[in-house]
Structure 1
Amino acid sequence: MSRLALILLACLSSASVMAKDFPAAGAQYDSQLGGAYTPPAGTRIVSRDRSEAPAPGLYNVCYVNAFQTQPGENAWWQANHPDLILTAEGRPVEDENWPGEYLLDTSTAAKRGALADIIGDWIEGCARDGYDAIEADNLDTYSRSDGRLKIEDNLAFVGLLIEKAHDLWLAFGQKNGVGLLDRADLPAFDFAITESCQVYDECGPYAERYGARVLEIEYTDTESRFFEQACAARGGQFSIILRDRNLQPPGMPGYTYRSC
């Protein structure tokens, strides 16, 4: 065998070892974004905030709030990158459903590049910590921006993040955004995380796009029949759980965790 062939074989072998897998189809899942804790028995996939350590021995998804700020980080953003916060009449545009979270400004290529450098550093941190995949939240900020952001802005930005994650051998999940699934410019997401798709009759399009690579969360602040219907329809295919809306740890008021 030639020296070139040996080099190519070594590279291919290295890539196959380094490459990250997708979440296992239908495996028991838990979302712990409200605080890390020992996963329930049988759990194989866990989502945790990037500030938390991954769960040993499981498939770990690293949560980053990629399209808007966390309330505890607003001072940092305003001190270091005020131009990357979306504003209206000189004031930050705030998510009406999550007080204190400001929308990030993805409206120009220059701002998308600057944001990708910042969020890219977070993704690198996830990789160093041993995570397997990325969950980037609030892809739909364009819908809450009063026209200041476009769908194309956010898709272009998340494309940069996906490229960064893939370079680090991390899978990348689409968080919600069912209306984007049939777009020709949808970036190369590897799996989906969907909230309340049973409630809104949105689960089918995710299956069409991602097959069984879907992590589904139904919540206790909707009728209990939706979780039961989800399990009856897709249990064993999707990874389906019932959680309290704030995804709290055990012992906190309202904590709920069930799987199909």
Structure 2
Amino acid sequence: MRRATVALAATTLLTLALSGCATTASDATSTFVLPPAGAVPDYQLGGAYDPADGVGIVGRDRSDEPAEGLYSVCYVNGFQTQPGELDAWPTDLLLRRDGETVFDPDWPDEALLDTSTDDRRERIADTVAPWIEGCADAGFDAVEFDNLDSYTRSDDALTLDDNLALAALLVDVAHDSGLAAGQKNTAEDAAVLHERAGFDFAVVEECAAFEECPAFTEVYGDAVIDIEYSDELPRTFAEMCADDESPASMVLRDRDLVTPGHEEYVFETCR
């Protein structure tokens, strides 16, 4: 699963992220709430199930319902096609090289979306917008957008600026829908994604394992949700929990994010 506004609005959002207060979107017409600072998270992209006692934040796919009574984050694959949905995309919105569609080398059933022009970005946003609005209608509190770093897998066909421009469109839809917008991974771009695209918080994978958590916490403060995976821990999870650089909201999960009852299921928290 690892993937790897204006200045005043950005400053306001960061201040509110640090305080954990409700925040007002930049158009001043919509409000959204940030993840509760330090709350215990669970990441359920492999299938929804009843969260354990003490969990305060739950991430689920857009095809699932939010966790009742808990802060719920809706997963949206905003920069690549979702597995099984390739045929739903017009061919000219898929990145192509030498006449062939470009796929993520780590996720060969996910094609990169072509973010290289204003027209394509607008059309991608028009496709993704109903998913975001559906998250809001279902009762989610926030949305996370995966594969912000797809440009790094494009052999220079796409740029950071291309993806920033699309990200800003998607964040605007989220805010207009009353949802907080979460950056997914992409540590090297955290500051610019917050400042130029308007992201409010971050959902990250393995930042403690890769020693990159400060790249997120320096931008989003306590509004960082980290998922570590049990199969590639460079140190014990207890040591990660005790590390001052680790986010306050952190969980240990199995790589495939299976549901309880499965023999590979792992769920461990710092408390």
Task: Give the TM-score normalised by structure 1.
Answer: 0.88
Structural mapping, 1:65-214, within 5 Å: 65-77=77-89, 81-183=90-192, 186-214=196-224
Cα 1:99–1:236 change in 2 (3 A) is closer
Cα 1:235–1:202 change in 2 (3 A) is closer
Q: Which amino acid aligns with 1:106?
A: T
Deviations 1:200-247 (A, max 9, x none): 110112111111111011111212625223210249952000011111
Confirm whether residue 31 of structure 1 aligns to residue 43 of structure 2: yes
Aligned position for 1:9: none
Larger Rg: 1
Cα 1:237–1:90 change in 2 (3 A) is closer
For residue 197 of structure 1, report the CA deviation from its aligned partner: 0.8
Please give the secondary structure, in 2, of the residue aligned with 1:225. coil
Please give the secondary structure, in 2, of the residue aligned with 1:20. strand
Please give the secondary structure, in 1, of the residue aligned with 2:264. coil
Aligned position for 2:55: 43
Cα 1:17–1:30 change in 2 (3 A) is farther
Please give the secondary structure, in 2, of the residue aligned with 1:160. helix
| Structure with a larger share of its residues in strand | 2
Aligned position for 2:252: 242
Of 232-241 and 26-35, deviating more is 232-241
* Paired residues of 1:199 and 1:226 also in contact (CA < 8 A): no
* Paired residues of 2:183 and 2:199 also in contact (CA < 8 A): yes
Aligned position for 2:16: none
Of 224-233 and 128-137, deviating more is 224-233
User: What stretches of structure 2 of length at least 5 have no aligned partner?
Assistant: 1-23
For residue 194 of structure 1, report the CA deviation from its aligned partner: 1.1
Aligned position for 1:64: 76
Task: Give the TM-score normalised by structure 2.
Answer: 0.85
* Paired residues of 2:30 and 2:175 also in contact (CA < 8 A): no
* Paired residues of 2:225 and 2:247 also in contact (CA < 8 A): no
Confirm whether residue 53 of structure 1 aligns to residue 65 of structure 2: yes
CA distance in 2, matches of 1:22, 1:223: 29
Aligned position for 2:18: none
Q: Which amino acid aligns with 1:115?
A: I
Deviations 1:110-148 (A, max 9, x none): 000000011111101111111100011010000001111
Q: Which amino acid aligns with 1:128?
A: D
Of 223-232 and 51-60, deviating more is 223-232
Of 247-256 and 91-100, deviating more is 247-256
Of 245-254 and 65-74, deviating more is 245-254
CA distance in 2, matches of 1:235, 1:27: 16
Identical positions, percent = 49
Cα 1:236–1:70 change in 2 (3 A) is closer
CA distance in 1, matches of 2:259, 2:59: 13
CA distance in 2, matches of 1:179, 1:73: 29
User: What stretches of structure 1 of length at least 5 have no aligned partner?
Assistant: 1-11
CA distance in 2, matches of 1:17, 1:110: 26
Please give the secondary structure, in 2, of the residue aligned with 1:99. strand
* Paired residues of 2:58 and 2:72 also in contact (CA < 8 A): yes
Cα 1:226–1:204 change in 2 (3 A) is farther
